[in-house]
Structure 1
C-alpha cells in the first residue's frame, strides 16, 4: 500500500506558484524550493518528478485559480466598464503594495522561458486566451447594456485590453510609481465608451 504523501497538493502548488512568481524559474533550485515548501524531497519528487514539471503544474494552477476568474468577475452584476477598470487598476495597486513589484507570472515566464520551452508556451497561450475571452465576454455584456456602442468590434477591443494588461505587467516592474499608469487605463476605456470612464462603487 502506497504511503500517504503527507501534504496537500493544492497547497503545495499554491506556494510553489508564489515562489516561482517571486523568484523566477532559473533562480529557483529544487533544494531551496523543497525547504521553502517544508515537504520531504522524496515526496515532492514522487508527486511532481522534477522542477520543470512542478513549474508547469504551478502555471496551470495560476491559470485555473487566477485567470479563469476574469469573466465571472466582470459578469457578476452591475456596470461592466467600471468593473474592467477596477480589475486593471487592481494590478497596478498590487504592484504599488509590493516592495519589489513582481509583475505577472505569465508575462515573466514569456521573458524567461519562451520560445524554447514549448510546454510552458502552451500554458501561457491558454492563459492569454482566457484573459482575452474574459474581456470579450465583458465587452459583449457592456454593448448589450449600452455602456459601449453596439457596433463595437469587441473581439479586437478584447485583444487590445489583454495586450494592455500584459504591457502594464511589464512596466510596473520598472516604474517606481505603478499607479502613475492609471491614466493609460482611463484613456483606453474612454476611447471605448466615448466618455470619461466611470469608477466602480
Structure 2
C-alpha cells in the first residue's frame, strides 16, 4: 500500500507561488519547484498532477489572498471613500517598495500568457472581474453617501481604477521612482471624483 503524501499543502503552494512569481510559468522548471518545495518529483506530481495544475492552484491562492486584503481594507475603513483611498495608497506603497520588480502574479501571468492558455486566462479574468465588482460596489457606496459626484457611473469609475491598478502593477515590474506611484494614486483619485 502506498504511503499517503504528508506535507503542508498551503506551505507548498506558497513556495511554488514564489517560484512562479519570480520567473513566470514558462521559465519555472519542475526542478525549480522540487527545490523550492522540498518534495520529490513523484510526490509533486502525485499531489498536483502537473505543472499547470500547480500553477492554477497558486493563482487561485494568490487571488483569494488578494481579494481578502481588498475586502478587509474596504470593511475596516471609516467610510466608502476612505476605503478606496486607503486601498490605492496601500497599493502605491507596496509597488514603491517592490525592489525585486515582482509586480502582481496575476497581471504578470496575464501578460505572459495573453490568450495562449484559455484556462489560465479564464481564472485570472474571474479574479479581475471580482476586483472590479468590489471597486464598483465601494464606489457606489461613496456615491450614495454623497462622497463622490453622481456625474459618471460607478461601473465607469471602477473600470478606470482597475486600469490604473493594472498599470501600477506593470510599472512596479520595471521599478520606476517611488514617487511615481503617489502621483498615479493621486491622479486616479482625482479622476473618480
TM-score, normalised via structure 1 length: 0.87
Match of 1:8 in 2: 8
1:188, 1:179 → 2: CA distance? 14
RMSD, aligned α-carbons: 1.8
The alpha-carbon distance between structure 1 residues 18 and 67, as it changes in their structure 2 partners (threshold 3 A), is farther
Runs of 4+ in 1 over 6 A off after TM superposition: none
Question: 1:125 deviation in Å?
Answer: 0.5
Q: How far, CA to CA, are the matches of 1:86 and 1:45 in structure 2?
A: 41
Q: Is the 8 A contact 1:114 1:120 kept in 2?
A: no
Partner of 1:50: 50
Match of 2:161 in 1: 161
Q: Is the 8 A contact 1:106 1:124 kept in 2?
A: yes
Tell me, in whole angstroms, the C-alpha distance in 2 between the residues paired with 1:46 and 1:74. Answer: 39
Say which SS state the counterpart of residue 66 (structure 1) adopts: helix
- Which residue does 1:106 correspond to in 2? 106
Q: Cα deviations across residues 67-113 of structure 1 (Å, max 9, x unaligned)?
A: 34423421334122232222223233223323321111111111211
C-alpha change, 1:97 and 1:181, in structure 2 (3 Å) is closer
Q: C-alpha distance in 2, partners of 1:2/1:81?
A: 56
1:92 aligns to 2:127 (yes or no): no
TM-score where L is the length of structure 2 = 0.90
Unaligned runs of 5+ in 1: 194-201
Partner of 1:30: 30
8 Å Cα contact 2:98/2:172 also seen in 1: no
Once residues 175 and 77 of structure 1 are traced to their aligned partners in structure 2, the CA distance between those partners, rounded to angstroms, is 29
Q: Is the 8 A contact 1:103 1:169 kept in 2?
A: yes
CA contact (8 A) 2:92 2:185 kept: no
Where does residue 196 of structure 1 map in the other structure? Answer: none
Superposition map of 1:1-201 within 5 A? 3-150=3-150, 152-193=152-193
Taking structure 1 as reference, are residues 176 and 69 closer, same or farther at Cα in structure 2, changes over 3 Å only? closer
* Unaligned ranges ≥5, structure 2: none
**1:192 CA drift (Å):** 2.4
Q: Conserved in 2, the CA contact under 8 Å of 1:71 and 1:135? A: no
